[in-house]
Amino acid sequence: MRPLPLLIPLYLVVALIGAGGMARPAAPTAAAADVTIVALPTRPRWEGRSSRPIRVFIAPGSAVAGWRPELMDAVWNGFRQWSTQGVPVRFTRAASPTSADVIVEWVDALPGTCIGKTWREDVGAEISTARITLALHDHRGLGLTVAMQRGAALHEIGHLLGLEHVGQRSSIMYPQVWVTDISTGDRNALRDLYAQPGRAVAD
Ligand SMILES: [Zn+2]
């Protein structure tokens, strides 16, 4: 059996908790998209990407107000952090969007309480391409802190690797940014996903 020829775009978002430390959590906005993922028979992941690194193009956001060049290194650092966790996935920087599997871009703001979004194309149980959009401001126009942006980037890269939302606030995969680092539980979840035997997706 060949995989379905259709690419399935998945929209996954991370929401902003109340700014200024007075957290008034917004309802997770990605529930519908996540239900779609949970319903899949096998959880999608990248295949064979330790020998063939995933090519990441980080687009400069120089046209977006408030963007700073050092954000590119910060995001790239996030990719490196996830790929050093005993997972058979490696990343390399791509020189152009056309030669990339993954594109990271910045926008001024995202709708509602979203501060990050991952658009992922899955072919069968294999992740094919992805695009991460990161916001520089919240929906009220307030600039996101460096910590908030770091948390959002790590969260979206988690989605990019195949992780779904979890219910623990100590996890970077909680649907809101409460922590800004990858937890032991997150690392274990990723190892579990990639420790499953290889799944043939063609023929
Ligand atoms: Zn999310």
User: Residue 7's closest CA among 149, 120, 92?
Assistant: 120
pLDDT given for residue 42 in this prediction = 77
pLDDT given for residue 11 in this prediction = 55
User: Does residue 25 have a pLDDT over 50?
Assistant: no
Q: Residue 203 Cα, ligand 1 centroid: separation in angstroms?
A: 32
Q: Residue 142 Cα, ligand 1 centroid: separation in angstroms?
A: 21
Question: In the chain, what are the domains?
Answer: 8-195 (3.40.390.10)
Q: Residue 148 Cα, ligand 1 centroid: separation in angstroms?
A: 14
- Prediction pTM value: 0.82
Q: How far apart are CA 195 and CA 98, in angstroms?
A: 31
Q: Residue 1 Cα, ligand 1 centroid: separation in angstroms?
A: 31
Q: Residue 100 Cα, ligand 1 centroid: separation in angstroms?
A: 22
> 135 phi and psi, to 5 degrees?
-90, 150
Q: Work out the angle at residue 129's Cα, subtended by the Cα atoms of residues 16 and 80, and round it to the nearest 5 degrees.
A: 65
Q: Residue 159 Cα, ligand 1 centroid: separation in angstroms?
A: 7
- pLDDT exceeding 90 applies to what percent of the chain? 57
